[in-house]
């Protein structure tokens, strides 16, 4: 883990990855919302009061304008090179009666060259952007630039329909782990990557590849956190579910806030528990309302003390 002090002219956190429009189908009809896991994390960080920069690829159409307006309205800094020609990518989400969602994608991913003069305190990357060529090579290059000088967090956010063969996807995932400090994934991600392992075995395997902290979220069963010295399970926060869109991204954004707030503290069990509780609360608030409507810091704090 390599926490650094804030540096002039550089956001505390830089997020790298795809931005798209979620086209959501429910029994009530069809709606469109800005989305994409990395975009949601950047948005969630800004809502939590973190200065966040976002490197992405946004089309020059009305959907691209909607994404830009959504992110900048929350305070996200869209970094140079993020606007491109062509159509904005989409993800079509079919929401079931229980609030769960299945996705299909129309996505092209490219990434501009990223050469910051100074490293951010935290670099976050992941999702489709870390797997899909040609932009995936750019994501890996960014991780290499920041590894060892920034705290690097990674969420694979597995989308099997876009990843080709299981073995290729797992190799890409595992090749990135030595460049990271914190890896967060869902139980579904872990089961897809490592179908013959339990969640705890998968976490230990990932930590053995080089991550300092591995977090596996388990929906209503809470989250499991593993370091070299300890492992803990933290219960989920109960919530009435509208849908699950953005829940993992809300968790990730709040987890990054927790990393920023440690002020050099070790990842002792009490620190991990506090971080996971805040992250679980952010996720619970998000699933309680439609779409990737991630909470503000005031909302999270109010719920934590209620």
Residue by residue, pLDDT tens for the chain (306 residues) are: 543 333 446 789 999 999 999 888 888 889 888 989 999 999 999 999 999 999 999 998 999 999 999 999 999 999 999 998 788 999 888 888 787 778 788 888 888 887 777 889 999 999 999 999 999 999 999 999 999 999 999 999 998 888 889 999 999 999 999 999 999 999 999 999 999 999 999 999 999 999 999 999 998 899 999 999 999 999 989 888 887 888 999 999 999 999 998 766 688 999 999 999 999 999 999 998 887 889 999 999 999 987
Is there a contact between 182 and 150 (Cβ–Cβ < 8 Å)? no
Give the pLDDT score at 168.
95
Cα–Cα dist 145/3, whole Å: 15
Cα–Cα dist 281/20, whole Å: 25
- In angstroms, the Cα distances linking 197 to 63, 159, 304 are 41, 19, 34
Is there a contact between 4 and 118 (Cβ–Cβ < 8 Å)? no
Is there a contact between 48 and 300 (Cβ–Cβ < 8 Å)? yes
Give the pLDDT score at 264.
65
Question: What are the tens digits of pLDDT across the range 185-216?
Answer: 999 999 999 999 999 999 999 999 999 999 99
CATH fold for domain 13-305: 3.40.1190
Taken as a whole, the chain contains a residue count of 306
User: What kind and span of H or E run contains 15?
Assistant: strand 13-16
Q: 3-state SS of the chain: helix, strand, coil percent to 5?
A: 40, 20, 40
Give the pLDDT score at 106.
87
Is there a contact between 211 and 183 (Cβ–Cβ < 8 Å)? yes
Give the pLDDT score at 238.
87
Is there a contact between 15 and 151 (Cβ–Cβ < 8 Å)? no
Q: Quick one: which of 275, 264, 249 has its CA closest to 45?
A: 249
Cα–Cα dist 291/252, whole Å: 16
Question: What are the tens digits of pLDDT across the range 200-257?
Answer: 999 999 999 999 999 999 988 999 999 999 999 999 898 888 878 889 999 999 999 9
Give the pLDDT score at 9.
60
Rg of the chain over all Cα atoms, to the nearest angstrom: 18
Give the pLDDT score at 4.
35
Give the pLDDT score at 263.
62
Give the pLDDT score at 8.
44
Q: Quick one: which of 36, 77, 49 has its CA closest to 296?
A: 49
Domain boundaries, the chain: 13-305
User: What kind and span of H or E run contains 154?
Assistant: strand 151-155
Give the pLDDT score at 2.
42
């Amino acid at each position: 883990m390599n926490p650094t002090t804030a540096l002039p002219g550089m956001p505390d956190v830089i997020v790298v990855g795809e931005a798209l429009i979620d086209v959501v189908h429910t029994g009530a009809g069809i709606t469109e919302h800005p989305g994409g896991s990395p975009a949601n994390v950047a948005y969630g960080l800004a809502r939590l009061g973190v200065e966040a920069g976002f490197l992405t690829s946004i089309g020059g159409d009305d959907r691209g304008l909607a994404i830009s307006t959504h992110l900048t309205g929350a305070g996200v800094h869209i970094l140079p090179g993020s606007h491109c020609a062509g159509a904005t990518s989409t993800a079509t989400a079919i929401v079931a009666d229980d609030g769960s969602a299945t996705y299909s994608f129309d996505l092209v991913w490219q990434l501009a060259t990223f050469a910051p003069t100074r490293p951010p305190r935290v670099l976050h990357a992941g999702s489709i952007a870390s797997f899909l060529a040609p932009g995936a090579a750019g994501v890996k290059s960014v991780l290499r630039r920041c590894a060892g000088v920034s705290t690097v967090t990674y969420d694979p956010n597995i989308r099997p329909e876009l990843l080709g063969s299981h073995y290729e996807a797992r190799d890409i995932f595992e090749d990135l782990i030595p460049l990271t400090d914190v890896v967060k994934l869902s139980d579904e991600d872990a089961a897809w990557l490592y179908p013959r392992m339990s969640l705890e075995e998968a976490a230990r395997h990932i930590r053995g590849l080089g991550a300092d902290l591995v977090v596996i979220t388990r929906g209503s069963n809470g989250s499991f956190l593993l370091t070299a010295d300890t492992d803990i399970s933290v219960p989920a926060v109960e919530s009435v579910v509208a849908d699950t869109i953005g829940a993992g991204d809300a968790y990730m954004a709040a987890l990054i806030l927790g990393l920023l707030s440690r002020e050099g503290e070790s990842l002792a069990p009490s620190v991990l528990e506090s971080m996971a509780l805040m992250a679980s609360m952010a996720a619970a608030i998000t699933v309680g309302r439609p779409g990737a409507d991630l909470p503000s810091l005031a909302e999270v704090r109010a719920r934590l003390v209620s």
